[in-house]
């Protein structure tokens, strides 16, 4: 019980203490808690990590917080991996573009490949929030992983992909939109699951509003017409 309380409050404590105390006392305590036998304590640590990362320097985050994140992505408890997936975008924002691009992309890729659907879904829905922190070459790699989930056995995972397409339609470079997004949307349009197909309509609407050059693709227009005349959208 005490360890859970400390794990919950340690991020708040970091906001009021001097940096010397944070480095000498709070960080060692945080590391110990992040290896606790109870997965709930480890989950609470990840919920507090972002607040702690905000007050640390880039080097301190790289030295002390990054290993915790990498370790958590491989944690035996799906609850811990879910907590990381859920908090990933905020953590990446606190770490900044350099560390995210150089060190966190691989961890994010691990979450996208997780065996638990709920972990993958949270990672997918976080993707559009970290696009601005990722270089174009890393972005292309992650796009391939995201779009591979359009063929996931779980309909709810495939549906999450259509949702993220809508969010990133006007964010990713146009060449990525042509080369990576368009080849996948026809498959999603013809998905066996109605929710997935309806998510596709959201994508086409958002794409038209935010990236009309992509919309001019005849493949996308024809697919949208098909959706507009399908029974799903009567």
| CA pair distance 22, 52, nearest whole angstrom | 9
Counting residues of the chain whose pLDDT is more than 90, the rounded percentage is 40
Spell out a b/e string for 209-232, using b for 16 or more CB atoms within 10 Å of the CB, else e: eebeebbebeebeebbeebeebee
pLDDT tens across 10-59, in order? 888 888 888 888 888 989 999 999 999 999 999 999 999 988 998 898 99
Categorize the per-residue pLDDT at 221 as very low, low, confident or very high, splitting at 50, 70 and 90: very low
In the block, residue with structure tokens 């994140």? 69
What pLDDT score was predicted for residue 111? 96
What average pLDDT is seen over the chain?
82
What pLDDT score was predicted for residue 105? 93
pLDDT mean over 199-222? 53
| CA pair distance 200, 203, nearest whole angstrom | 5
Query: Cα 41 to the chain's mean position, in Å?
Result: 22
pLDDT mean over 104-132? 93
What pLDDT score was predicted for residue 207? 55
pLDDT tens across 160-209, in order? 887 777 666 666 667 776 776 777 776 777 777 777 776 666 655 555 55
| CA pair distance 123, 107, nearest whole angstrom | 11
> Token digits for 125?
């829905």
What pLDDT score was predicted for residue 167? 66
Residue 123 phi, psi dihedral angles, 5° rounding? -65, -45
Residue 185 phi, psi dihedral angles, 5° rounding? -70, -30
> Token digits for 71?
């370790």
Per-domain boundaries in the chain? 136-234
Q: For residue 27, with 0-12 CB atoms within 10 Å meaning exposed, 13-18 middle and 19 or more buried, which class applies? A: buried
| CA pair distance 33, 31, nearest whole angstrom | 5
pLDDT of 142 higher than 50: yes
| CA pair distance 32, 7, nearest whole angstrom | 10
Categorize the per-residue pLDDT at 159 as very low, low, confident or very high, splitting at 50, 70 and 90: confident
What pLDDT score was predicted for residue 92? 94
């Amino acid at each position: 019980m005490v360890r859970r309380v400390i794990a919950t409050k340690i991020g708040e404590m970091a906001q009021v203490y001097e940096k010397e105390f944070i480095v000498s006392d709070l960080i060692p305590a945080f590391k110990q808690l992040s290896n606790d036998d109870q997965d709930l304590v480890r989950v609470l640590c990840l919920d507090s990590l972002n607040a702690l990362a905000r007050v640390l320097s880039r080097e301190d985050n790289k030295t002390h917080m990054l290993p915790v994140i990498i370790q958590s992505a491989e944690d035996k408890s799906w609850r811990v991996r879910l907590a990381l997936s859920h908090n990933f975008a905020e953590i990446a924002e606190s770490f900044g573009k350099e560390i995210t691009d150089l060190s966190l992309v691989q961890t994010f890729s691990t979450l996208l490949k997780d065996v638990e659907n709920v972990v993958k879904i949270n990672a997918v829905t976080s993707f559009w929030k970290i696009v601005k922190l990722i270089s174009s070459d890393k972005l292309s790699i992650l796009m391939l992983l995201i779009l591979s989930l359009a063929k996931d056995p779980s309909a709810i995972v495939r549906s999450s992909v259509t949702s993220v397409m809508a969010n990133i339609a006007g964010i990713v470079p146009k060449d990525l939109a042509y080369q990576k997004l368009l080849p996948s949307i026809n498959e999603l349009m013809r998905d066996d699951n109605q929710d997935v197909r309806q998510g596709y309509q959201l994508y086409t609407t958002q794409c038209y509003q935010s990236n009309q050059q992509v919309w001019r693709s005849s493949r996308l227009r024809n697919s949208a017409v098909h959706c507009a005349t399908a029974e799903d959208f009567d």
